[in-house]
Amino acid sequence: MTAAMVRVEGLCKRFSVPRREAGLRAALRALVRREYRVVEAVRDLEFSLAPGERVGFLGPNGAGKTTTLKMLAGLIVPSAGRVEVAGFTPSDRRPEFLRRVSLVMGQKRQLSWDLPAIDNFEFNRVVYEIDPVHYKRRLEELTALLDVGEVMRRPVRQLSLGERMKCELVAALLHGPQVLFLDEPTIGLDVSMQLGIREFIRRYNAEHGATVILTSHYMEDVAALCPRILVIDGGRLRFDGSIEALRRQIRPLRRVSVRAAALPDDPTAMGRVVLREGGRLVLDVAPERVPEVVGALVALPEAQDLAVQDAPLEEVMRALFGREEAAELG
Amino acid sequence: MSQRAAQLARVIAAVWRISLAEAIAYRVSMLMWVLTTTFPLVSLALWSGLAAGGPIGDYARPDFVAYFVAAFLIRQFTASWVVWELSGQIRNGDLNTLLMRPMSPMIYHAIQNLAALPIRCALALPIGVVVLVLAGGLAWPSPGSLALLGLSLALAWLLNLAVHVAIGCLAFWVTESTALFEVWLGLYLVLSGAAVPTSLYPAGLAEVVRALPFHASLGFPVELAIGRVTGSEVTHGLLLQALWVAGFGLLAAVLWRRGVRAYEGVGG
């Protein structure tokens, strides 16, 4: 049993937020006496991650996933509890710790706007004390994988969002971090770019064994990248396991669809009818009844396109959080 | 230990290179900035006009020219703008990037500030020369006092930097830290010697004004540059500068340390 790369015990974060009513009078009153409201962003989190794991934090906006990520990266100090990453307490922000981790934020640029990315890379080489031979090899490897050989010589401000994000990834990985924190890395990117970045992260993880922790709004990102997911909602850990296990826990019904010349008179006896249109029938069926239902559907005249699937991920998320959040899918 | 020092030197050189490249990229906005900080030149026009009829205190017309041209240049040489950068980074979360690097964000800001100074000076010097040619007259310091002037400029720059960092750090707790800086700037314009040489203040008041950090950050090095302070006054002035640097440096360090603990890492 290898030691955990990330260990979190009883982790809490409370913010006090100034509170006031709307309007001028309230604004004036707030000048004299500010009232604060305590927001518990993260409550009593507990988990640990092994080296090389790819883990996704899922949850609606304001659920506490980014706050948790920032505590792991050492940017914000926990209110209570313990965090250990690569053997360090992140909030001490010791140089030895910072050289072992990297944080990429999709909504924040970290590269200097007016300089070519290559200048930023060179800067990182010095700051992270990367051995020149290593640096050259890694730069070649990363730029080839992400196809930014030309792009990195143009000022960052002239790059498209996708090109910039690729350069951000290169900058974040040059020093070979053991732990990679990714906060919404594919936000705003088109589908093919999302797929490219996703594939790159998977490959990087496989080849270098770095632990990857990801938060994303795009459920597909998390589902495709992370064998393990942590669902955080209201600052609490609500689920820890594989995406399949989550799907089956939240939506145990299997989705069975078929096309036939004639459909059964009363399909409600087989399961919940999702769609019945023309010659097409879609049903949600209890797992133990799937063989029986499939048997009946295959027997239909000219039956074709029979499929049995898990419930779509966005429905799982909507059911889990009961909000529209999950509908924002890429 | 020497290994760490060597690494620090390499980091400083790297920040210097990247900041210089950035400063060159921003040269036009920097020229605008130099032009908007010509306040001492406005004072120059005003005071040399008033002194046309005869000296004011111990300042004749050419003395005012020398004083305010030196004030304009020294303000450029010792300028800081960290308060805007730092408070902005704290409020919008850009500080995250600096905090994730294995180097002190404070060193980064200091070097970045320093690296832009040569460009600012290159932009400001011609303006100073033009004003001198138009107005005539300047007594430059003797070579012997140049070393002391250099020291005084370094202290003035450090003092400005420490004030900027200290006020900038207030953004960890309040949204309007730059408004507080405007208050500081208002006092600075009146009390530093940018508008009036502080020696022209009425007796009693002048002594108080000349002991404040505002004078230490501008008035004193200006007077040193034009040879108006001599002997024990020089030592006294330098000590006072060092004292203010230590005071504000300590304040800035405490506020930074506490601020980072209170930081909420907003955004993204």
The shortest CB-CB distance from B268 to any of A67, A99, A108 is to: A108
pLDDT winner (highest mean) among A285-289, A308-312, B101-105: B101-105
With CA atoms as reference, the chain B residue closest to A41 would be B264
pLDDT for the residue numbered A86: 95
Q: Any CB–CB contact under 8 A between B257 and chain A?
A: no
Closest partner residue to B25 among A67, A102, A114, by Cβ? Answer: A114
Cα angle, residue A119 at apex, residues A118 and A125 outer, rounded to 5°: 90
pLDDT value at position A330? 28
For the ranges A280-289, B193-202, B238-247, the one whose mean pLDDT is highest = B238-247
Looking at residues A245-260, what average pLDDT do you find? 87
Q: Which residues of chain B make contact with A155, given a CB cutoff of 8 A? A: 25
Q: For chain A, what is the largest distance between any 2 Cα atoms, rounded to a whole number of angstroms?
A: 78
Chain B positions touching A110 (Cβ under 8 A) are 97, 100
More confident residue, A73 or B60: A73
Residues of A in contact with B264 (CB under 8 A): 15, 76
CB of B79 closer than 8 Å to CB of B160: yes
Residues β-bridged to residue A11: A45
Flag the least confident range among A124-133, B28-37, B252-261. B28-37
Q: What is the pLDDT of residue B234?
A: 93
- A112-134: per-residue pLDDT in tens? 888 899 999 999 999 999 999 99
Give chain A positions within 8 Å (CB) of B26: 114
* Averaged confidence pLDDT in chain B: 88
Residue of chain A whose Cα is closest to the Cα of B3: A129
B197's CB contacts (< 8 A; 6+ apart) are B57, B59, B67, B219, B223
Q: Cβ of B88 under 8 Å from any chain A Cβ?
A: no
Identity of the residue in A91, A98, A129 whose CB atom sits nearest the CB atom of B7: A129
CB neighbour class for B142 (10 Å; exposed up to 12, middle 13-18, buried from 19) = exposed
Cβ separation B102–A95 shorter than 8 A: yes
Q: Is A88 on the interface with B (CB under 8 A)?
A: no
Which residues have C-beta within 8 Å of that of residue A291, sequence separation ≥ 6? none
* pLDDT band per the 50, 70, 90 thresholds, residue A39: confident
Min Cα separation A13/chain B (Å): 10
pTM over 0.90: no
B176 vs A: CB within 8 A: no
Residues B18, B24, B29, CA angle at the centre, nearest 5°?
125
Provide, as residue numbers in chain A, all residues whose Cβ is less than 8 Å from the Cβ of B260. Answer: 93
**Strand order, beta sheet including A35-49:** A35-49, A6-19, A80-85
Strand partners, A103: A181
Q: Look at residue A80 and tell me whether its pLDDT is greater than 90.
A: yes
Residue B81: is its pLDDT beyond 50? yes
Domain residue ranges in chain A: 6-248, 252-309
Q: What is the pLDDT of residue A216?
A: 82
- Which tens digit of pLDDT belongs to each residue from A168-220? 999 999 999 999 999 988 888 888 888 888 999 999 999 999 999 999 877 78
Beta strands in A50-156 (DSSP E): 54-58, 80-85, 101-105
- What's the gap in Å between the CA of B176 and the closest CA on chain A? 13
Would an 8 Å CB–CB cutoff place A93 in contact with chain B? yes
Minimum Cα–Cα distance from B94: chain A residue: A108
Instruction: Return all residues near A99 (Cβ < 8 A) that are at least 6 apart.
Output: A128, A129, A175, A177, B102
Mutate to test the interface with A, among B100, B103, B172, B266 (most CBs of A within 10 A): B100
Predicted confidence at residue A329, as pLDDT, reads: 33
pLDDT digits (tens, 9 = 90+) for B116-173: 888 888 888 888 877 777 766 555 656 667 889 999 999 999 999 999 999 999 999 9
Q: Flag if A95 and B103 touch (Cβ within 8 Å).
A: yes
| pLDDT tens track for A166-181 | 999 999 999 999 999 9
Nearest Cβ partner for A110 among B10, B97, B265: B97
Q: Choose the closest CB to B261 out of A77, A96, A155.
A: A77
Q: Does A188 touch chain B (CB under 8 A)?
A: no
C-alpha B156/C-alpha B245 separation (Å) is 8
Tell me: domain A6-248, CATH 3.40.50.300, correct?
A: yes
How far A108 CA sits from the closest chain B CA (Å)?
A: 6
**Do A116 and A155 touch, CB atoms closer than 8 A?**
yes
pLDDT at B244 > cutoff 80: yes
Is B100 within 8 Å of A120 when comparing Cβ atoms?
Answer: no
Chain A residues closer than 8 Å to B94 by CB = 108
Of B22, B260, B268, Cβ closest to residue A115? B22
Asked if A70's CB is within 8 angstroms of B268's CB, the reply is no
Nearest CA in chain B to A215: B268
What is the pLDDT of chain A when averaged over all its residues?
88
Looking at residue B158, its pLDDT comes to 97
Strands A211-215 and A179-183: parallel
Q: Is B101's Cβ below 8 Å from some Cβ in A?
A: yes
What average pLDDT score do residues A321-329 get? Answer: 48
Tokens in use for B57? 């205190």
* CB neighbour list of residue B97: distance below 8 Å, 6 or more residues apart: A108, A110
CB of A15 within 8 Å of a chain B CB? The answer is: yes
**Nearest chain A CA: its distance from B34 CA (Å):** 21
CB contact under 8 A, B97 and A123: no
* Residue A328 predicted with pLDDT over 60: no
**Which of B20, B99, B104, B260 is the best substitution to test chain A (most A C-beta atoms within 10 A)?**
B99
